[in-house]
């Protein structure tokens, strides 16, 4: 992928996203839609994976058949909302390796602080797809990418559902090599750091918390 940002304008993605934004959508339906949409986004973010061929035998004859090349890719969930995207993506790529990055925001400094970090080995040889539904200020996403690069990752993509222009700019400045794939670029952030029009707090909506 060469461009820094890909917006997935597929009609199914856009329709499902509208249902997710609607405030009356229940937790169960929100979760189901997130699972479906994450598979469509995963299709897009993996569209240019390297391929090779393998000799197989069909019931008719031998053939050279296309298969994915290289090491298994690594999916990294940025906790906690990343887990909602992770589930759907894993259904489509069941052999992927999986890691988790946990960050919280220090109330005084407002900077992200790491509380959990566990990632697959040999990150430098894998395509790494970091998943987090909301790219808002970009602070925690940039910090997560910093940690992944510190662990050796060299080929990273960032998959989200919604992005704010502020978060895209922040990511582009800090990590211009990281491709962002999203279903929508919304208008802006509000004063509380929420994406508008957005869909509210993604973690609360998928887990039924408040």
Residues lying near ligand URA in the complex (CB under 6 A) are found at 81, 134, 136, 194-195, 198, 201-203
Q: Output the smallest distance, CB 200 to ligand URA, in A.
A: 6
Q: Output the smallest distance, CB 136 to ligand URA, in A.
A: 4
How many Å separate Cα 10 from the centre of its chain?
17
The answer to whether 193 is annotated as binding is no
CA-based radius of gyration for the chain? 18
The answer to whether 140 is annotated as binding is yes
Q: What does the alpha-carbon distance between residue 124 and residue 60 come to, in Å, rounded to a whole number?
A: 40
- Rank residues 134 and 151 by Cβ distance to ligand URA and give the closer one: 134
Q: Output the smallest distance, CB 110 to ligand URA, in A.
A: 14
The answer to whether 133 is annotated as binding is yes
- Rank residues 102 and 198 by Cβ distance to ligand URA and give the closer one: 198
Q: Is 126 tagged catalytic?
A: no
Q: Output the smallest distance, CB 69 to ligand URA, in A.
A: 35
Q: What does the alpha-carbon distance between residue 45 and residue 27 come to, in Å, rounded to a whole number?
A: 26
Q: Are 156 and 149 in contact (CB under 8 A)?
A: yes
Q: Are 138 and 170 in contact (CB under 8 A)?
A: yes
Task: Please tell me which residue in 6, 105, 125, 146 is annotated as part of the active site.
Answer: 105
Q: Is 48 tagged catalytic?
A: no
The answer to whether 47 is annotated as binding is no
Tokens linked to 193: 């750091």
Q: Are strands 184-185 and 179-182 parallel, antiparallel or unpaired?
A: unpaired
- Which helix (H) or strand (E) is 168 found in, with range? helix 165-174
User: What contacts 154, CB < 8 A, 6 or more positions away?
Assistant: 123, 124
Q: Is 69 tagged catalytic?
A: no
Q: Is 53 tagged catalytic?
A: no
The answer to whether 34 is annotated as binding is no
Task: Give me the active site residues, please.
Answer: 105, 109, 201, 204
Binding residues for uracil: 195, 200-202
Binding residues for 5-phospho-alpha-D-ribose 1-diphosphate: 80, 105, 132-140, 201
């Amino acid at each position: 992928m060469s461009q820094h940002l890909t917006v997935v304008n597929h009609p199914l993605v856009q329709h499902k996203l509208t249902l997710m934004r609607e405030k009356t959508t229940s937790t169960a339906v929100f979760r189901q839609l997130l699972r479906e949409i994450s598979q469509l986004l995963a299709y897009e973010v993996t569209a240019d994976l390297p391929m090779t061929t393998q000799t197989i035998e069909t019931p008719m004859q031998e053939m050279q058949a296309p298969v994915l090349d290289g090491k298994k890719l690594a999916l990294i969930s940025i906790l906690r909302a990343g887990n909602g995207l992770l589930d759907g993506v894993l259904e489509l790529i069941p052999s992927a390796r999986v890691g988790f990055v946990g960050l919280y925001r220090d109330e005084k400094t407002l900077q992200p602080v790491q509380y959990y970090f566990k990632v697959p080995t040999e990150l430098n040889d894998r395509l790494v797809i970091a998943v987090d539904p909301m790219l808002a200020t970009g602070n925690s996403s940039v910090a997560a990418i910093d940690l992944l690069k510190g662990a050796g990752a060299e080929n990273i993509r960032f998959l989200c559902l919604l992005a704010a222009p502020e978060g895209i700019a922040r990511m582009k400045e800090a990590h211009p090599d990281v491709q962002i794939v999203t279903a929508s670029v919304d208008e802006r952030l509000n004063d509380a750091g929420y994406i508008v029009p957005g869909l509210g707090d993604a973690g609360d909506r998928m887990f039924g918390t408040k």
